[in-house]
Amino acid sequence: MTIGLLFLAFFALLALSMPIGIAILIVCVGYILLTGGMQPNFFISAFFSSLDSFPLLAVPLFMLSGDLMTKGGIARQLFDLAHKLVGKLPGGHAMAAVLSCLFFGAVSGSAPATVAAIGGLMIPMLSDIGYDRKWATGLLASAGALGVMIPPSIPMVMYGVVTGESVSDLFIAGIIPGILVGLLLCIYCYVYCKKEKPMLKWEAEEKSFLRVLNDSKWAILMPVIILGGIYSGKFTPTEAAAISVLYGLIICLLVTKTIKFKELPALFKSTAASMGPLMIVCASATVLGKILTVERAPEIIANLILSISSNKIVVFLLVNLFLLVVGALMDTVAAILIFAPVLYPIMTSLGMSGIQFGCLMTVNLAVGFITPPIGMNLYVASGLTGLSVVDISKKIVIPMLLMIVAVLIVTYIPAVSLCLLPG
């Protein structure tokens, strides 16, 4: 009963457009005042101690490095490389846009940032050469979700923090699922162009592959250093995040000189402004997680799910459906912080690896970035193009279904997420 009232109050506050971090805080404070189930001093201690986490430090650092590289103008370099690889295929320009999102995701770790950086460049370009503007916007909004699937991924860091699973292993495990989604979207581009046959006018300068590779080398080298260092055990994900910031500063300030020293304070301020609300969500969601533990939420939800079926195939499907609904209604980070501790024991008890579930949860909740009403990527794309969210939503139906197919593949074929892990 108490759990139901907590979530009812929470979603009611979200419906009133309350910021998610504040909504969680109000629910937690209301629970303490009305039930006395948690002492106020414990609430305060849990709120602040949740932020005292070494793995969590990776989040603002990856956000800062992503902002640095975005400001440094790497989007065009990544597109030129992707276009050189697939540009001559039917739908090649659109495929290149998807691959650009894939590459950029390995830099930013953020879905909205990927849409803003790549979409801001690619939507006008695709429209100008002959693609339907609404279709191009829907494609880029969908492909932007790759930003959280491809490591470094902020949701994966959060999952590792709350479950105790290795963030390094999660990063490695996320590579193939991210590539899988990117491949499915590229196939979609191919089929669309074969069917619709848009009249395309491409008049860009033809560059050699070596020249394109040289122009984009600094952008490509960053994820290579990060993932290579983590995979080889040279440094932890948090240390990798710090190295990525240092790398971004050196490249953007001294090598490419796309950022001036006087621009740094504004850039740091922008990152801090984005990070502040996220930290409130992290701290308040941690407290809510402890409240749910006190109220035996994991046990209750496990019993509820298992009362429907004890067959793990069915249970996995039910959990996926639940996460798809949650992703449509909640911010991804908040959803992971609240529900990962609840669902983790259920899935592991049925034989699913904690690492596999982390990938599954990330890919599943990534669908929420293009699912109304929360769908952050839709709003970013709308802001870039002036198109309504409704118009964009009509063009993301097939990409969304393809992403759900990827979710099912990750769910029922463990090797997709675990094949790159040692042992």
Residue 135 in any domain: the answer is yes
In eight-state DSSP terms, residue 256 is S
pLDDT at 204: 60
Residue 111 main-chain phi, psi, to 5 deg: -70, -50
Q: Say if residues 326 and 335 touch (Cβ distance below 8 Å).
A: yes
At 3, is the pLDDT very low, low, confident or very high (cuts 50, 70, 90)?
Answer: low
Structural domain boundaries enclosing 338: 2-418
Q: Three-state SS for 118?
A: helix
Residue 409 in any domain: the answer is yes
Cα–Cα distance for residue pair 244/17, rounded to 1 Å: 35
Q: Report the pLDDT averaged over residues 134-156.
A: 90
Name the residue type at position 265.
P
Number of folded domains in the chain?
A: 1
E strand map for 2-105: none
Q: What digits encode the pLDDT tens for the residues 246-268?
A: 888 888 888 888 888 898 898 88
Q: What digits encode the pLDDT tens for the residues 49-61?
A: 777 777 777 778 8
Residue 294 main-chain phi, psi, to 5 deg: -60, -40
pLDDT at 275: 77
Tokens of 167: 């963030």
pTM, full prediction: 0.84
Cα–Cα distance for residue pair 260/254, rounded to 1 Å: 9
Question: Closest Cα partner for 132 from 82, 181, 93, 187?
Answer: 93
Residue 248 in any domain: the answer is yes
Q: Say if residues 44 and 300 touch (Cβ distance below 8 Å).
A: no
Residue 423 in any domain: the answer is no
Cα 129 to Cα 80, 142, 198, 215, 406, distances in angstroms: 15, 20, 9, 23, 30
